[in-house]
Amino acid sequence: MDVLVHPVAHLRGSIRVPPDKSITQRAVLLAACAHQTTQLAPWSSAQDCQRACELIRTLGVQIEQQGEVLVIQGRGADGLTPPTAPLWCGESATTLRLASGLLAGQPFAATLSGGPSLSRRPMRRITEPLTRMGARIQGAHGDASDPEELYPPLRIHGRRPLQALTYTLPVASAQVKSAILLAGLFAEGPTTVIESVPTRDHTERLLERFGVPVLRRGSAVTVNGGTPLKSPGRLAIPGDLSSAAFFLTAAACRPGSRLEAAEIGLNPTRMRLLDVLQRMGARLTRHLVEEVWEPRGSVQVEGGVLRATRVTPEEVPALIDELPLLMVAACCAQGVTVLQGIGELRKKETDRLHSMMEGLSRLGASITLSGAEELHIAGSRLTGARVESHGDHRTAMALAVAGLLAEGTTRIAGAECVAKSYPDFFDVLARLAGSGVIEHLP
């Protein structure tokens, strides 16, 4: 499916985005291993979350949707059953990586497989620590340039108990941290993950919500093996800030816009994009409504003139999903924005550094790569053109924002990939932007 995006004078209104898919995936996996029943209401029904649901069903867990409520009949730490077929993760790296940690502590073998894009994503960053904990993991090997790298499908021969581990992450990654912490639930003694740069802490917060004490000391996070997961009963998943970010950024870049995103997660480890936009001069206001286990509230933005900024490598882990959007904002800012240490973008669903540079260049952006990981973007006028999603949901949505801000019509090829995280994205965008701004083509 292709989508035509026409320029917009401004965006106004209020939105409620779908529940956070990262939190939903984690909650589904933990609920499967908890005692008693867990209800998620609301929950994200995005494709990635559906993969997590299908995975735990294959492991013998009863899960059903009752209206807007997802009901998961937990089977406890010993209740998962050996799968009779490979566990399909689609294109969800979060599902595959977190499930790897869970399966490492099971007394049976299982295979995790994925689609074409996921099968090209490197997995040694999780297989190495899980192997050190005692799991035996086989996978597809890399090419001659890196023969030690492993790729899906992964065959995981679990072990219980696992060996406790203290592990320093060589690359900041919430998914790797989470996989190790989940495996640590099935280890003898304390398992500790040490981060050089803080990453999102949804897993830690959820573990505590499921009755597992989490010790935070400086940059180290520790869980003790053998602690049973206890269902919290009902969990309300907050709105996905990463989804709201597309609309908030578009509004910030277009003078005259006024937009509110309500009922969204305001976890401090997820708000770096808002921090950077404010540094660029965006007029943003945050209202914290509820703290409890995951902070939530609303964000208001008024459009204005942005100025260039510099993003350091230390900021990138907390910005990794929003970097494509920040690249669009940089095109609308006065001066030259510098993004440093962004090489991790090459290891997403697609090479996002390539897909965004290609797309923005076709729209007329002044964008250059210095070395392998530093991008320079000069504020410039964008002009509508045909661009490719490359099958990547965040690339498609970021280029849609760029299309709103460009002169003329932008055609996004392969736009159906937004269903991975936000199936209704273009419908919401059309409502905010006004009649005729968004057109769907067969």
Catalytic residues: 321
Dihedral Cα 133, 134, 137, 141, nearest 10 deg = 60
Instruction: Say whether 339 sits in a helix, a strand or coil.
Output: strand
Instruction: Say whether 240 sits in a helix, a strand or coil.
Output: coil
DSSP conformational letter for 358: H
Residue corresponding to tokens 């210095």: 370
CA distance 25 to 31: 10
Using an 8 Å Cβ cutoff, are 22 and 49 in contact?
Answer: no
436's tokens = 């005729």
CA distance 42 to 29: 16
238 closest CA partner among 41, 31, 14, 32: 41
CA distance 125 to 122: 7
Evaluate the CA torsion angle 345, 351, 353, 359 in order and state its sign. negative
Reading across the β-sheet that carries 336-340, which strands appear in turn? 310-311, 336-340, 374-378, 366-370
Residue corresponding to tokens 């960053």: 125
Residue corresponding to tokens 């540094």: 279
